[in-house]
Amino acid sequence: MKISSICCLGAGYVGGPTMAMIAAKCPDIQVTVCDMNQQRIDAWNSDELPVYEPGLDEVVASARGRNLHFSTDIRSAIAAADLIFVSVGTPTKTYGIGAGRAADLRYIEAAARLIAEVSHGHKIIVEKSTIPVKTASAIKTIIAANSTSGATFEVLSNPEFLAEGTAVADLENPDRILIGGETTPGGQIAVEALVSVYARWVPRERIVTTNLWSSELSKLVANAFLAQRISSINSISALCEATGADVDEVARAIGMDSRIGPKFLKASVGFGGSCFQKDILNLVYLCESFNLPHVSEYWRQVVHLNDWQKSRFVEKIVRTLFNTVNNKRIAILGFAFKKDTNDTRESPAIHVCRDLLREHAQLAIYDPRVEPELIRKDLAEAGVSAKLIEANVEILDDPYAAVKNAHALATLTEWDEFKTLDLPRIHRLMLKPAFVFDGRDVLPTAELEALGFDSFIIGKGQ
């Protein structure tokens, strides 16, 4: 089966960049990315893409208008497609059964119903969104019950492993592509059709095919293992601070063991992002559903430790500032959940800022990419009142303006530009003692010390 037309439902952080790369690598395939959010589609069609990713502008420019299209006409795009990626959001449920743990699948279900309604002929449906195991079976059931045109369908799982900030490099040169499908002849033909799309630029040996459930579960497990490494090193960061050890030295020493490996051992104020917490909670819920309480409790600890890491950072600030931050100006450098993205979903900065505001601090926030409106929205959704945001949060477009007359500065994202800040100038601008809380170990430690800052760096014993 040859694929000549692809459509993707959902023009978000995953759908947009992934489809742009497929279009760039497969000029003979028409790729249409759809979303009901007109503003998002307009942005994808403009010079100001809705997603900030290094290198993405060039990839989009190379294909847009040729074989890459962004549209709100979802029905026409589905009707024309041989293969439909479903890349809609799957947030954590906030209500009812499984609240706070289970994935909310209403967008997936709506997408499946629409596909059933609009489709004719044969379609391959590909789950791209991260979803709980067995969602493929739910999609199949919904489609079978709602399709009246005699159309036929195969459902595949093809989870996305790109990380934000490095999405273009990850898509261009992935560690692996995972495709899960049914073991029936029809299922295998569909798997091969999707393999042939990726094989245009990904070496065959890196394209792994499995059954549907292994593929769905692997995505959750990959994220759980990655997050577990961060919680493990963060737990050790607290011990390093208590004992005088240095967490980077420990990470280097253990990472040289080839069985452990050096990556993902950077201690931080906590992990964020749309995937890690959500996927672990999903895994926890799955284990609960299958009556495996020991397994669910084991993974839940990864999230608990992460919450504790964020809380203890705030506590460190409050205790160091003589047990009160009431009315004290604290400069917050970085709000995104990691560098090189404008995404703030589950960013540790939200938790830290919320708790500092509860202590009545005055925050002066600077982030090079995050929109001020998004920062206000995140804080409001985290439970900070509009009145408090209005009175106690200032968002600035210059780090030096943020630190002016500040009692303390806290780095919460590891933006490269923070490595070369003019620290003597910052020291002059701040009140004394000038306290620094480096939650990302991004500032030059020796220079901080030489200039007379009173600094705390995550995982570094004094």
Edge-first strand listing for the sheet containing 5-9: 68-71, 30-34, 5-9, 83-86, 122-127, 152-157, 177-181, 207-211
**Of positions 13, 70, 337, 437, contacts ligand ADP by CB under 6 A:** 13
Structural tokens at position 369: 């990419």
Which one of 12-20, 146-154, 331-339, 409-417 is the stretch in contact with ligand ADP (CB under 6 A)?
12-20
Residues that bind ligand UDX (CB under 6 A): 160-164, 223, 226, 230, 264-266, 268, 271-273, 275-276, 337-338
Min. distance of Cβ 301 from ligand ADP in angstroms?
26
Binding mask 66-85 for ligand ADP (x = CB under 6 A): --------x-----------
Angle between helices 348-358 and 293-320 (to 10 degrees): 50
Q: How far is the CB of 432 from ligand UDX (least distance, A)?
A: 31
Strand ranges, E, within 289-407: 329-333, 362-366, 393-396
Measured from each CB, the residue nearest to ligand ADP is 12
The residue number whose beta carbon is nearest to ligand UDX equals 273
What's the rounded Cα separation, in Å, for the pair 71 and 234?
43
- CB–CB of 239/245 below 8 Å? yes
When the beta carbons of 126 and 361 are compared against ligand ADP, the nearer one is 126
Please, what is the minimum distance in Å from the beta carbon of residue 247 to ligand UDX? 11
Closest to ligand ADP by CB, 40 vs 460, is 40
Q: Which residue, 167 or 406, has its beta carbon nearer to ligand ADP?
A: 167
Binding to ligand ADP by residue 15, rule CB under 6 A? yes
For 161-221, the DSSP string reads ---TTSHHHHHHS-S-EEEEE-SSHHHHHHHHHHHHHHTTTS-GGGEEEEEHHHHHHHHHH
Q: Rounded to an integer, what distance in angstroms lies between the CA atom of residue 31 and that of residue 15?
A: 11
How many helices (H) and strands (E) the chain has is answered by 18, 14
Q: How far is the CB of 28 from ligand ADP (least distance, A)?
A: 25
Please state the closest distance from residue 219 (CB atom) to ligand ADP, in A.
12
What is residue 85's three-state secondary structure? strand
User: How many C-beta atoms surround the C-beta of residue 243 within 10 A?
Assistant: 9
Closest separation between CB of residue 274 and ligand UDX, Å? 7
Q: According to the binding rule CB under 6 A, does residue 111 interact with ligand ADP? A: yes
Q: Specify the residue, 102 or 233, whose C-beta has the smaller distance to ligand ADP.
A: 102
**Side chain identity at 319, as an amino acid letter?**
R
Which residue of 87, 223, 344, 362 would you call a contact of ligand ADP, by CB under 6 A? 87
Q: Which residue lies nearer to ligand UDX by CB, 186 or 255?
A: 255
Nearer to ligand UDX, 98 or 159 (CB): 159
**Is 9 one of the binding residues for ligand ADP (CB under 6 A)?**
yes
- Which residues are known catalytic residues? 160, 219, 275
What's the rounded Cα separation, in Å, for the pair 283 and 446? 42
Helix (H, G, I), strand (E, B) or coil at 270: coil
Dist. CA 313–CA 321, nearest whole Å: 13
Look at residue 338 and give the partner it binds from ligand ADP, ligand UDX, none, a contact being a CB closer than 5 to 8 Å depending on partner kind.
ligand UDX
Look at the chain and count its residues: 462
Q: CB of 186: closest distance to ligand UDX in angstroms?
A: 28
Using CB under 6 A, which residues numbered 29 to 48 contact ligand ADP?
A: 34-37, 40
Contacts of 367 (CB under 8 A, 6+ apart): 333, 334, 335, 336, 375, 413, 415
Question: Which is nearer to ligand UDX, 93 or 339 (by Cβ)?
Answer: 339
Give residues in contact with ligand ADP (CB under 6 A): 9-15, 34-37, 40, 74, 87-89, 107, 110-111, 114, 129, 274
